[in-house]
Amino acid sequence: MNGFHQSFLATAAWFSSCGLPGWLGLVLAGVVFYAVPLFAVVLPIAGLGQIFERKIAAAMQRRIGPSTTGIVGILRLTVNLALPWKAKAECNRLAERLVAFGPVALLDRLLTRTGVAQLAADGVKMIGKEDLVPSGVDGWLFRAAPYLAIAGAFLPFVVVPWSQHLVGADLSIGLVWVAAAGGLTAVAILLAGWGSNNKWTMLGGMRAVAQIVSYEIPVGLCMAAVAMWCGTLSLQQMVAAQYHPGVLSFLGWNLIQSPFMVILAGTFYLAAIAECQRTPFDTAEAESELVSGFNTEMSGLRWGMFAMAEYTETFLIGALFAVLFLGGYQSPVGEQWILSLPPLAETVIHVAIMTAKCLVAIWVMMWIRWTLPRFRIDQVMRLAWLKLVPLALVCLFGLALTMLLGARIEQVAYGRLLSAPSAQLPLIAWALSWLLAGGAIIALVVAAKRSGPPMPAALRRLTTAPARKA
């Protein structure tokens, strides 16, 4: 399949030749080749996600955010944890001398001001907390829930392509796998909610499941539409279908293939945010109503696993959004030449591009979080069933029509029909689809805005940005 996979298979074979049973060799090789790198990449990013979220929140609320933890603190913490005695004074002196040294001082300043060093403090705090299992909980469910949440967040990454050569497993049913494995999260949250034997967690768990089940429909419809457009369920092939030769590689991206794709992207993004329970859709946690919702009774590392799962899921949504709409790991310009590089260089560049796309998606998610207040549960459900599902359906049909039209135009213009529907329309069809569909959508929007009574003045003031003071 690819070089990475071949080395995986070779290692598995080597394990078997050492006398291990075949399945165990496969599992071990899988851990070495897939699980470890995945955790090594995704866990720090998920952890950093929390820090960046705090910084972004602070920026949007005119605060500073984490800005105090630095190298001195980390050193003292490490030494105090690692050594049996409390070497406080010695540590202080050592750390201060170290921080006075130029490059270290620079690094310290960077870590402190960006809040990255806070990650260590948070992590140690979380790990150091008492592992509470309250009396009256359903022990098995309570203990299993965090692991399921982590599994549900990490399993979809198996099929996410990072470059031509770097993909866990390029399943032919990749999107189905993502939806199925992601569904574990709903189970985990329901288990946590039910197993905690607590009213808040119960309500939070029920809400979460209702919400996740509802939002899986628009998400599924969006995935189906893109799969139909690209003619494949495999994420790797989906990325390949968005390849466009020449300098302007981004012309091949799904997002700009049709106006329906733009709407579809928005629908997918919103629905995906709702599926991973982030504000403004975090009715399952809803700290103003439900204490902390489904994880009220979770403490220490159990809670940490849920938090980690949440941030991993944001990362997953970023990756999926990139694959479905933004050409996956492909560069916006000059993809042709990157593909012709040697495999290692190509992989490094592609992983960097993919990560950048994920980070942008995560950043927008955080931006939304600190902009919108939390919806009520009924508003959340109404948004799913009355707005997103119909929108996704309309876009699905619109895209199907566009494909038919494109095939027809191709037949007329070029005298041949493509053997399979193509993700990229011929130029005439592309222009026509933008003109027709875009025109129709704009006409609808204008008509809708003219219909009905005008917006009350008070409401209009709220929806227009206030004039800035000089």
Partner 1 sequence: MLLAWVRDIVEGVESFVVGMGSTARFAYENWSGKATGAMTLEYPAQKQAMPAAFRGHLFNNVSNCITCKLCAKACPVDCFVIEGERNEENKFRTSRFDIDLTKCIYCGLCTRACPTDCLTMQGGFELDPVNTVNQRGQRFLFTQRPDQLDVRLEGAEVDRLLRVSSLKPGEVGAEDRAFLDRIEDPRGTAIIAKFGVGYYTADEVKQVDARREELKKAKEAQAAAAKAAADKAKAEAAAKAAADALASAPAQEPKP
Which spans of this chain sit near partner 1 (rule: CB under 8 A)? 56, 58-64, 67-68, 367-368, 370-372, 386-387, 390-391, 444-445, 447-449, 451-452, 455, 462-466
Q: What is the DSSP string of 362-408?
A: HHHHHHHHTTSPPPPHHHHHHIIIIIIHHHHHHHHHHHHHHHHHHHH
Helices then strands, counting H and E runs in the chain, come out as 21, 0
Nearer to partner 1, 288 or 451 (CB): 451
Estimate the share of the chain in helix, then strand, then coil, as percent rounded to the nearest 5: 75, 0, 25
Q: Which residue has the tokens 């899921």?
A: 313
Query: How many other C-beta atoms lie within 10 A of the C-beta of residue 109?
Result: 13
Least distance between partner 1 and beta carbon 349 (Å): 28
Closest to 184 in 3D by CA, of 223, 214, 153, 222: 153
Nearer to partner 1, 62 or 416 (CB): 62
Least distance between partner 1 and beta carbon 242 (Å): 26
Closest to 377 in 3D by CA, of 203, 217, 220: 203
Tokens of 228: 């139909």
Least distance between partner 1 and beta carbon 360 (Å): 14
Least distance between partner 1 and beta carbon 177 (Å): 31
Nearer to partner 1, 386 or 435 (CB): 386
Nearer to partner 1, 19 or 456 (CB): 456
Are 214 and 381 in contact, with CB atoms under 8 Å apart? yes
Least distance between partner 1 and beta carbon 372 (Å): 6
Nearer to partner 1, 372 or 435 (CB): 372
Tokens of 235: 């994420």
Closest to 329 in 3D by CA, of 399, 256, 193, 238: 238
Classify each residue of 421-435 as buried b or exposed e, where b means 16 or more C-beta atoms within 10 Å of its C-beta. bbbbbbeebbebbbe
Nearer to partner 1, 111 or 189 (CB): 111
Are 221 and 260 in contact, with CB atoms under 8 Å apart? no
Least distance between partner 1 and beta carbon 129 (Å): 25
What 3-state DSSP class applies to 229?
Answer: helix
Least distance between partner 1 and beta carbon 111 (Å): 16
Least distance between partner 1 and beta carbon 418 (Å): 34
CA separation for the pair 338, 345 (Å, rounded): 8
Nearer to partner 1, 28 or 368 (CB): 368
Please classify residue 415 by burial: count the beta carbons closer than 10 Å to its beta carbon, then call 0-12 exposed, 13-18 middle and 19+ buried.
exposed
Nearer to partner 1, 7 or 68 (CB): 68
Least distance between partner 1 and beta carbon 317 (Å): 18
Nearer to partner 1, 36 or 386 (CB): 386
For 186, 207, 396, the CA distances from 390, given in Å and listed in that order, are 23, 22, 10
**Chain centroid to CA 176:** 17
Least distance between partner 1 and beta carbon 459 (Å): 9
Cβ contacts of 66 within 8 Å, gap of 6 or more: 51, 54, 55, 58, 115, 118
Nearer to partner 1, 250 or 370 (CB): 370
